[in-house]
Structures are given as C-alpha cells and as structure tokens.
Amino acid sequence: MDSRITARALAVALGGWRTREPAYEALADGIRLLCLDNRLAARTALPAERELAAALRLSRTTVAAAYRSLRDSGHIESLRGSGSVTLPRPQRDAGRVTVAEDAIDLQQASPAAWPGLAGLMTEAAMDAATLVARAGYDLRGSLALREAIASRYTSLGVPTSPDDVLVTTGAQSAIHLLAETLLRRGDRALIETPTYPHAAEALRAAGARLVGIPVTTDDGWDLDRATQAFARTSPRLAYLMPRFQNPTGRCMTAVDEKVFGDAARQAGTTLIVDETTSELAIDGGGRMPAFADAPAHVVRVGSLGKTVWGGLRVGWIRASPELIQHLIAMRPARDLGTPEFEQAVAVRAIAQLPGILRQRADLLREGRDAVSAALAVQLPQWRVPQVNGGVALWVELDAPLSSGLVLAARENGVSLSAGSRFAVDSALDRRLRVPFTAPVDDLRRAVDVLAAVWPSVRVGAPTPSGELLEAVV
C-alpha cells in the first residue's frame, strides 16, 4: 500500500460530488472520477466508513453503499481489518464508467504533432553517428540546444546566455526539480486557482502548503488577494502562467505583472513563470515574455510539448547561473539528463518556431471557433469565454455539476476533466475545461455528446439544498 488519504482531504478533493440521487451512487461516482484522472493513485487507502461519513455529514450506511458500488465496479477492494484501497484502473472501466472504441480524449489539451516533425527527426537520425559518439549523460543539456534556447529568449527581449539554461525532460520534470530544490517541507507556495494540476501536485509532493490566488476568465488575477498573500505568508515561491493561463486562457496585463513582481520582490519570493503555452497566440500579435524586466527573482520554465509535440520530451529552465548550478547538483536524484536524440530534434524545431507557431495558430483558431460556435447553438445557457490563445475554453455551466457531466460524457465516449481537477482551494464544479486541440469533427461530436447528456445530468441533480452542501463541504 503506497499512500493513504484522510477523510478531510477526500472530502475536499470530491468538491461538488452530489450531482445526482441516490447519494451513495453520487459519492461512488465522485471517487471514480478521482481515480480516473489520477487524483487518487492506485493502492491508496481510503478513509474508514465512519470517518468519511462524519467528514461529508452523511450516514455511515450511505458511505458503506458507495464503497460497495465501487467494489462492484472494480475500483476498490476491501479487506477485513485492512480497510478499502483503490485498484489500478482497468482497461475498460466497469459500472457506469466505460470507454467506447471511438472515444474522444479531451483530457490531454495538446495538439497533434506539427506536420514537419517527422522530417526533423529524419534529419537528426542522419547525424546518429555523431550523437552516439557522445557520453549520453549530460545533466546540463547540449550546448547547441542551450544556445538555441538562449538566442530565442534574447530575440524576445530577455537577454540570456547558454549558462542561464538547463535542459530537462519536459516542463513537468522542470517544475518537480525546481520544487525539490527551492522548497522545504512546510514552506508556503503561492499558486493560481484554477491552475495546471500537475504543478500543484509537484509543489505538494515537495512538502509545500499551497496558497491559492483566484484567476477568472472575466477579471483575471485577484490582485488584492495576491498582495495580501505575499505580505502575510512570505511564500518561498510562486507558480504562475501569465500568458494564456491554463485553463482560463487569460493573459496578465502590465499592471498585473508589476503588482506580482513588486510583491514577490518585497517578500523574497522566487517567481516560477510557466511559459509552455505563452507563444500559442491565435489572433496575432506577439508580446514580450512576462516579467521581462525582473530577471533577478524570475525563473522561467518552457517546453516544446504544446508547440511542437507532447511526445517530444524536451523542456528547460531559464534562471541565474547560480541557481542552474544548484539544480544540476540536485538533478541526479531524478534523472541523469535529457536524451541526446530528442535534443538534436529540438535544436532543429526551435529554428523552425516562427513557421510552427503560424501553423499552430491556424489549427487552434479553427478548433476554438468550432467549439465556441457549437456550444453557442447547443448549450446557450453556458457561458463561453472569448480567448485569444492557449489550448482550451474554461466554460461556465449553469449548475455546479461538472463532475457528473464528465462521468456522463465518458459513458458516451468523450473524456474530459471536471473543473475540480484544476482547483487548489475551492470546488470549481461549475466550470468545465474544453480543449480545442483535437480535430474539428471530434470537437463538434464532443459538443453533441455534452448537449445530449446535460439534460439528464441536470434532472438527476439534487435540489438546491444539495447545492448548498457543496459550499459547506
């Protein structure tokens, strides 16, 4: 058994779980959803029935019935004297959660590989003799790739040398390495809510206590809350996505950047700026990277995952040479370097970025417009924000039933992530992230499914008193 979740933590993770009646099946569905999107890892011990009943203000009979439903669907097993533990996700989930052969996966908000990538791989393979002549273990990253990354930053208005760059195996690896290097257990870490879920997981894994700063599609970042949080908690670091924030699609204004930059400087906080979506502008007009005038306490994380291909596991950290040296010293505990072949492909891809970004803009524009138009026609009661870039729409539903909707959609072959997946300190079950990175036909078919299942999700929901319970728990 690898881990255990407390009743209080499970209650928070469930968010607005009571999306239908009977209550025991709604609770079972909530736990299924946590298993499906990996918020509950396999072999996690669940709370005792009595403890979870108290945390959720339910009868023990209701929790017992929910656990029985989860056992029947193959999501947990219960052993006398040992409690209940989650099981590895089956190839085909039993019970209410099934996967169709022609399923549409919108959990991963990444476009298909850039069409020219295969050609770049072929070019790199032709240089295989040179690649295999190297040691293959390089904690810093190849000089050619670091020079290419540094040159791009410099051209965008952030003067950078190769010594300021560390190449990683993707942005996620970079975030984990920074968290493990900069944080001590119990440190405060400021983070947007909603946010990129795996970043929050990396910070928690390093022992951080998260301080959430709200960001909305209408108003952007809550600057008052941010200023107070910096002053009150003196966070060790702050994780931000200032350009085309995932999942809201918002971009920081110059005023936003100044407020965050000044507050971080005064609090002695390192700003980790995630730039993985920053160049995915759709409607034209590039902008200088965020916090370009505050290099001393800003660490940048980038990758080619969203721009070129998610399978090209190349990312980087741009920081001071001193911090880069510290990160190199910490890195062997995680990995021994980024594969040489991927780095060789990345050098060629960065040289092609202007053309790649134009192709990405066309692709994402087509997807965004198709989803927005389909939602406007089929689900006009939902609020669909206007975004100028990024990879997804942060849609507002007309009821806090995102979790139930995700489960119902999955039964019909569409996989999405509920709003609660992106929350740090609130349920956000009135929100649904709808990526527009898939082929247009798939996107339209996904909206068809959402429109078809939404009435049944809405009808099966509890009375308004049940919605009040969401805020209490």
The CATH code of the domain that includes 78 is: 1.10.10.10
User: In the chain, how many domains are there?
Assistant: 3
Local confidence pLDDT in tens for the 473 residues of the chain: 468 899 988 987 887 677 677 889 889 988 988 888 778 888 999 999 999 999 999 999 999 999 999 999 899 998 877 789 999 875 444 444 444 568 899 998 999 999 999 999 999 999 988 888 888 888 999 999 999 999 999 999 999 999 999 999 999 999 999 999 999 999 999 999 999 999 999 999 999 999 999 999 999 999 999 999 999 999 999 999 999 999 999 999 999 999 999 999 999 999 999 999 999 999 976 668 999 987 778 999 999 999 999 999 999 999 999 999 999 999 998 899 999 999 999 999 999 999 999 999 999 999 999 999 999 999 999 999 999 999 999 999 999 889 889 989 998 999 999 998 999 876 788 999 999 999 999 999 999 999 999 999 988 666 544 433 333 22
- The residue from 351, 385, 411 where one domain ends is 351
Residues 6+ apart with CB under 8 A from 174: 166, 168, 301, 303, 315, 316, 317
Asked whether residue 266 is assigned to any structural domain, the reply reads yes
Q: Which residues pair with 237 in a beta bridge?
A: 189, 270
The CA distance from 144 to 149, in Å, is 9
Q: Are residues 326 and 416 in the same domain?
A: no
Using alpha carbons, list the distances in angstroms from residue 238 to 135, 271, 293, 421.
36, 5, 17, 20
Q: Are residues 14 and 121 in the same domain?
A: no
Q: Are residues 344 and 447 in the same domain?
A: no
Q: Are residues 372 and 429 in the same domain?
A: yes
Q: Are residues 376 and 227 in the same domain?
A: no
Q: Are residues 368 and 346 in the same domain?
A: no
Q: Is the peptide bond before 464 cis (omega within 30 degrees of 0)?
A: no
Asked whether residue 429 is assigned to any structural domain, the reply reads yes
Structural domain that includes position 53 = 3-86
Across 186-225, b (16+ Cβ under 10 Å) vs e yields: ebbbbbbbbbbbebbbbbbebebebbbbbbebeebbbbee
Q: Is the pTM of this model over 0.75?
A: yes
